[in-house]
Amino acid sequence: MTTEIERTPGGAIIMNGAALRDDTVLRLRAEIESMGLGYPTVCLATVLVGDDKPSQIYVRTKHKKAAEAGMTSTHVGLAIDATQAEVEDTVRTLAADPSVHGILVQLPLPAHLDTEAVLDLVPAAKDVDGLTEASMGRLMRGRNGHVPCTPKGVMRLLERYEIPTVGKKAVVIGRSSLVGLPLAVLFARKGVDATVTLAHSRTTDLVEVCRDADIIVGAAGMARLITAAHVKPGATVIDVGVSRTESGIVGDVDFDSVQAVAGAITPMPGGTGPMTIACLLENTLEAARMLGAIPPAPATNKGR
């Protein structure tokens, strides 16, 4: 990474996800360019049902960053009242299209749609969000497959800032299949080797649970849930949560108080959000490899 290590006024290392995302985009672009001519352009397809503004912004950003990484992208936008059959047909068409390598269905889908039935139609190799049953099963079994982007982004930040995980205590707050649960599995993997506690809304005494941790990840979506009282001096604190409040977008971490105690901390924004997109693009390149559309990865590029 090109940038210097920055610190908060309290001395905590700032885990700069935006800078690491930019480096990742450049690395992916270089990998794609190094393949030379004769291969298809790596292509990400997105599907968005409805006109939710934040979702539209997320999808636009994904396309912009895909282009910067030297990929193409295609988008299918469906009306908010699209039927289950229309959404399923869209995904089936993309699944069968050999020029499409990664498929991302922007979630959540409107309530009248059956999300699981839609995700079931995404082939495991094209499941760049890593959220289908097949990808989650592969993650649990330690088999080769796409890892969900936000948890993977958290691991990439820990790697980049050389935060030790082996034998360390990690607390993940939030147990969704999108973020918390797969992240807990990643922390427990051989090679990462943390001892993990998975906290949720029924956890009693969250302060007590967190105060002993070397690494805390907030993925609850509760504004400023994690305060200095939760944090052991020198611990690493990673903020995944996004809450829209009257004072703007707020994370799960009370940054001002926590930065004075933590050893390393993610900013909000500019921490885990950009890394989610970086890992989506990593997964898209990997999808093209899994499909045999492009040559295998260079030996040095093994993720955890």
Catalogue the active-site residues.
62, 106, 129
DSSP string, the chain: --SPPPB-TTSPEE--HHHHHHHHHHHHHHHHHHT-SSSPPPEEEEEEES--HHHHHHHHHHHHHHHHTT-EEEEEEE-TT--HHHHHHHHHHHHH-TT--EEEE-SSPPTTS-HHHHHTTS-GGG-TT--SHHHHHHHHHT-S-PPPHHHHHHHHHHHHTT---TT-EEEEE---TTTHHHHHHHHHSTTT--EEEEE-TT-S-HHHHHTT-SEEEE-S--TT-B-GGG--TT-EEEE---EEETTEEE-SB-HHHHTTT-SEE--SSSSHHHHHHHHHHHHHHHHHHHTTSSPPPPTT----
Nearest CB to ligand NAP, comparing residues 123 and 221: 221
Any contact of residue 202 with ligand NAP (CB under 6 A)? yes
Note whether 132 and 120 are within 8 A (CB): yes
Identity of the residue, 194 or 199, whose beta carbon is nearer to ligand NAP in the bound complex: 199
Contact 209, 225 (CB under 8 A): no
Could you tell me if 206 and 199 are in contact, meaning their C-beta atoms sit under 8 angstroms apart?
yes
Nearest distance, CB of residue 33 and ligand NAP, angstroms: 27
Nearest-approach distance from CB 227 to ligand NAP, in angstroms:
12
Q: Restricting to residues 139-178, which ones interact with ligand NAP according to CB under 6 A?
A: 150, 173-176, 178
Shortest Å, Cβ 285 to ligand NAP: 19
The answer to whether residue 259 forms part of the interface with ligand NAP (CB under 6 A) is: no
Least Å distance, CB 292 to ligand NAP, is: 30
Cβ distance to ligand NAP smaller for residue 157 or 225: 225
**Of 220, 231, 258, 262, which one interacts with ligand NAP (CB under 6 A)?**
220
Nearer to ligand NAP, 52 or 86 (CB): 52
| Among the listed residues 273, 238, 226, 253, the one whose alpha carbon sits nearest the alpha carbon of residue 14 | 238
Examine residue 207 and tell whether it contacts ligand NAP (CB under 6 A): no
- Closest approach, Cβ 108 to ligand NAP, in A, equals 9
CB of 152 to ligand NAP, least distance (A): 11
Nearer of residues 47 and 100 to ligand NAP, judged by Cβ: 47
Report 37-76 residues binding ligand NAP (CB under 6 A): none
Among 102, 130, 182, 273, which residue sits at the site for ligand NAP (rule: CB under 6 A)? Answer: 273
Handedness of CA 50, 55, 60, 65 (dihedral sign): negative
Among the listed residues 29, 160, 200, 232, the single contact to ligand NAP using CB under 6 A:
200
Select the residue interacting with ligand NAP from 74, 203, 227, 257 (CB under 6 A): 203
What gap in Å lies between CA 182 and CA 303, rounded to an integer? Answer: 15
From candidates 3, 83, 99, 201, binder to ligand NAP by CB under 6 A: 201
- Smallest gap from residue 192 Cβ to ligand NAP (A): 20
- Number of shown-chain residues binding ligand NAP (CB under 6 A): 26
Is 263 a binder of ligand NAP (CB under 6 A)? no
Position closest to ligand NAP via CB: 221
Place of tokens 């499409």: 100
Chain positions contacting ligand NAP, by CB under 6 A: 150, 173-176, 178-180, 199-203, 206, 219-222, 225, 240-243, 272-273, 276
